[in-house]
Amino acid sequence: MARALWADFRRAMICRKFFACVLIVPIILLLSSLDVVLAAFRAGGPLGTGFHIQFLKIALDSEAMSFCAPILCALPFTAAFTEDMSSGFIRAYLPRTSVNRYIRSKNIACAISGGLSLALGILCAYALSAMLFLPREVAPVAGGEIPPAFPDILGTAGLFFLSGAFWSLTGLLFATFTGSKYMAYASPFVLFYVLIILCERYFPDLYALYPREWMNPTDKWRLGSFGVLLILSVLITVASAGFYFAAKRRIRSL
């Protein structure tokens, strides 16, 4: 199992697609709040304490980041199983491991690579934001209001990680069902957009299934971020189980 996982991790995360996704995230965050950046540089004077984190939190809540997230996390590994099937590589690989180990390693590698493509990108964006704005911020005043801190960004990055894991597994599941690697890339965004439409137009009170709430939860959640954690954990489990049974059925047909 360890060797199968290591092979899939290398395939998922030591590749151009994964590094490209990590680098694209800071670019999207910067461009989505470009007006804030320009206003900060045009002001000329010192910036408020914690401005670099406030800027990043605003960018993470932007529509551009929300709609790009399901696309970026699907790129590294969601088409891996379909590519193995279509190329015939799976016939040579399965005799060296078991079917269960092969499927589990694909599940885990897909979820982790999809989540890390967003989470690492957010951490890179934080480093860039700190380099740009932190030297111009005023020192915090003793007894004053405490500005947002780095742990807030870590918490948001964790939610993006779970969201990315779910969307990447969604692409893996749909690609396995259809046998098309293009569905691996398209299905996460399509499902994301369908849920957005349903929640915004028809079921506004169904905030638990609103994808933007999973990444930037509002005060509607009684349990706060822990409620989002529970919802995403259930969805990830369902998507993983769906891929497990779908992949087993496809392998039996070989």
- 213 with 220: CB under 8 angstroms? yes
Distance, in Å, from the CA atom of 175 to the CA atom of 84, rounded to the nearest integer, reads 12
**pLDDT averaged over the chain?**
88
> Which region among 60-69, 133-142, 213-222 has the lowest average model confidence (pLDDT)?
133-142
Confidence of residue 141 (pLDDT cuts 50, 70, 90): low
Q: Given a cut of 90, is residue 127 above it in pLDDT?
A: yes
Distance, in Å, from the CA atom of 173 to the CA atom of 169, rounded to the nearest integer, reads 6
Which long-range contacts (C-beta less than 8 Å, at least 24 apart) are formed by 249-254? 250/81, 250/85, 250/176, 250/179, 251/90, 251/94, 251/99, 251/103, 254/90, 254/91
- 107 with 244: CB under 8 angstroms? yes
Q: Given a cut of 60, is residue 146 above it in pLDDT?
A: no
3-state secondary structure of 38: helix
Burial track 71-98 (b if 16+ CB lie within 10 A, e otherwise)? bbbbbbbbbbbbebbeeeebeeeeeeee
For 181-196, the pLDDT digits (tens) are 899 999 999 999 999 9
Q: Given a cut of 90, is residue 206 above it in pLDDT?
A: no
| Residue range 153-173: mean pLDDT, rounded | 95
- DSSP alpha helices (H): ranges in 73-180? 80-87, 89-93, 99-133, 150-178
Q: What is the pLDDT of residue 143?
A: 54
3-state secondary structure of 223: coil
Q: Given a cut of 80, is residue 74 above it in pLDDT?
A: yes
- 36 with 55: CB under 8 angstroms? yes
Confidence of residue 69 (pLDDT cuts 50, 70, 90): very high
Distance, in Å, from the CA atom of 174 to the CA atom of 53, rounded to the nearest integer, reads 37
Q: What is the pLDDT of residue 159?
A: 94
What is the separation of C-alpha 42 from the centre of its chain, rounded to a whole number of angstroms? 33
Confidence of residue 237 (pLDDT cuts 50, 70, 90): very high
Q: What is the pLDDT of residue 162?
A: 96
| Residue range 97-104: mean pLDDT, rounded | 90
Burial track 50-61 (b if 16+ CB lie within 10 A, e otherwise)? bbbbbbbeebbb
Q: Measure the CA angle with vertex 74, ends 167 and 64; round to 5°.
A: 80
Q: What is the pLDDT of residue 150?
A: 79
Q: What is the pLDDT of residue 147?
A: 59
Distances (CA, A) of 77 to 8, 10, 170, 212, 229: 9, 11, 11, 23, 23
Check residue 15 and report its DSSP letter: S
Q: Given a cut of 90, is residue 169 above it in pLDDT?
A: yes
Q: Given a cut of 80, is residue 17 above it in pLDDT?
A: yes
- pTM of the predicted model, to two decimals? 0.92
% of residues, the chain, pLDDT over 90: 52
Tokens of 220: 């509607």
Tokens of 175: 């690609």
